[in-house]
């Protein structure tokens, strides 16, 4: 990975132009993805079919030549491997058999079933062989808190109130669930690295809903434990933390030594980041997915501002959250060209 722009940036080297990849770059905005999407009976079957998963991983690389591919999978393969029933309803998102009270935790296995995740690791090996050295391969997992929000509510909710309530009412049981998830995700990231992932990202999409105190216990500490354990086992591999919507609490994540970079969401204030986070710390982000959808002069301006604002530090260009399904291909082409100084 010596001449890879993404890995070099994650190692702290500023580039002339930032490397670029997009969260959810594989997926429904691509006609070629929509074409193969129904080749599997369900979304999880799709994720567990190495040939389909590799194809979906490579599609955005072929089309746009991003600097990194992210393995096509989902954060909810972990609750699935723990024995919870996970389904994806078309147009509605994930549905899980919810954990309502502590006795429901008994539906989970004491350890995740790693053989169930075998196809994910196989897909990573295949994708790594198919990609050139100029393209990094990113593995990922959901952070324990974000996984727990879906496991307890059984679905996405606007404020993740069910998991927050559960944690207040049953802190010891909730801690046990978080510990189980720390163990499973640490293992999942390690095996993805052994299979060929060059970097891994921990998505804490729901870190922002946690109040002080709860935030440290359920978001920050578990992520630090995972990052430290993975770094100990794989010192060469780069780790990206993505705590969404945490505002000034980004400084707490910046203190986690084992994280090589921090992903920042759309609402993050780049001038505050410039003042508050060491300029040697690589930052990833933070274009608004809605401005990419809108396109035009607003898109060009937003791209230029981000490139300029982060020009004094190692920066990986990305969105602040996942790409939206109706996003026009032409806008993504424009984005890549402009970030590379070609448009």
Ligand X SMILES: Cc1c2[nH]c(c1CCC(=O)O)Cc1[nH]c(c(CCC(=O)O)c1C)Cc1[nH]c(c(CCC(=O)O)c1C)Cc1[nH]c(c(C)c1CCC(=O)O)C2
Residues within the interface to ligand X (CB under 6 A): 23-28, 37, 43, 70, 72-76, 88, 93-94, 140, 142, 156, 203, 205, 322
Q: Which residues are bridge partners to 204 per DSSP?
A: 243
Q: Which residues are bridge partners to 86 per DSSP?
A: 96
Q: What is the smallest separation between the CB atom of 46 and ligand X, expressed in angstroms? A: 7
Instruction: Collect all residues with Cβ–Cβ distance below 8 Å to 251 and sequence separation of at least 6.
Output: 276, 277
Q: For ligand X, which is the closer residue by CB, 70 or 180?
A: 70
Q: What is the smallest separation between the CB atom of 278 and ligand X, expressed in angstroms? A: 26
User: Rounded distance, CA 138 to CA 219, Å?
Assistant: 22
Give the chain's end-to-end CA distance (angstroms, integer).
Answer: 28
Based on C-alpha coordinates, what's the Rg of the chain?
19
Q: For ligand X, which is the closer residue by CB, 90 or 330?
A: 90
Cα angle at 98 between 95 and 104, to 5 degrees?
A: 150
User: Rounded distance, CA 209 to CA 191, Å?
Assistant: 30
Q: For ligand X, which is the closer residue by CB, 131 or 313?
A: 131
Q: For ligand X, which is the closer residue by CB, 137 or 273?
A: 137
Q: What is the dihedral of CA 163, 166, 171, 172, to 10 degrees?
A: -100
Half-sphere exposure (CA, 13 Å, Cβ side) for 34? Answer: 7
Residues with catalytic function: 24, 28, 37, 74, 150
Q: What is the smallest separation between the CB atom of 45 and ligand X, expressed in angstroms? A: 12
Q: What is the smallest separation between the CB atom of 110 and ligand X, expressed in angstroms? A: 24
Instruction: Give the single-character DSSP code of 166.
Output: H
Q: What is the smallest separation between the CB atom of 207 and ligand X, expressed in angstroms? A: 10
Instruction: Collect all residues with Cβ–Cβ distance below 8 Å to 18 and sequence separation of at least 6.
Output: 9, 307, 310, 315, 316, 317, 339
Which residue's Cβ lies closest to ligand X?
A: 205
Q: For ligand X, which is the closer residue by CB, 205 or 237?
A: 205
Q: Which residues are bridge partners to 242 per DSSP?
A: 203
């Amino acid at each position: 990975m010596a001449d890879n722009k993404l890995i070099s940036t994650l190692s702290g080297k500023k580039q002339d132009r930032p490397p670029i990849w997009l969260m959810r770059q594989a997926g429904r905005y691509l006609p070629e993805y929509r074409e193969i999407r129904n080749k599997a009976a369900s979304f999880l079957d799709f994720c567990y079919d190495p040939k389909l998963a590799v194809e979906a991983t490579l599609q955005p690389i072929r089309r746009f030549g991003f600097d990194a591919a992210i393995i096509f999978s989902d954060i909810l393969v972990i609750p699935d491997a723990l024995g919870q029933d996970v389904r994806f309803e078309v147009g509605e998102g994930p549905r899980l058999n919810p954990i309502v009270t502590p006795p429901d935790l008994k539906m989970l296995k004491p350890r995740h079933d790693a053989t169930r995740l075998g196809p994910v690791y196989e897909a990573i090996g295949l994708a790594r062989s198919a990609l050139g050295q100029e393209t990094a391969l990113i593995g990922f997992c959901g952070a324990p808190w974000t996984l727990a929000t879906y496991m307890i509510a059984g679905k996405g909710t606007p404020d993740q109130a069910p998991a927050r309530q559960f944690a207040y009412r049953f802190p010891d049981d909730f801690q046990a669930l978080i510990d189980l998830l720390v163990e499973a995700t640490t293992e999942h990231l390690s095996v993805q690295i052994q299979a060929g992932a060059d970097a891994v990202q921990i998505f804490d999409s729901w870190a922002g809903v946690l109040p002080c105190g709860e935030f440290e216990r359920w978001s920050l500490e578990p992520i630090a434990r995972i990052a430290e354990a993975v770094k100990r086992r794989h010192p060469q591999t780069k780790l990206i933390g993505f705590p969404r919507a945490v505002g000034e609490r980004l400084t707490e994540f910046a203190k986690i030594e084992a994280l090589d970079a921090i992903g920042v969401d759309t609402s993050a204030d780049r001038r505050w980041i410039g003042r508050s986070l060491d300029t040697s710390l690589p930052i990833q982000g933070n274009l608004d997915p809605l401005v990419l959808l809108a396109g035009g002069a607003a898109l060009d301006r937003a791209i230029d501002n981000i490139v300029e604002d982060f020009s004094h530090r190692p920066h990986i260009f990305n969105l602040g959250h996942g790409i939206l399904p109706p996003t026009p291909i032409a806008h993504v082409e424009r984005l890549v060209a402009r970030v590379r100084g070609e448009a």
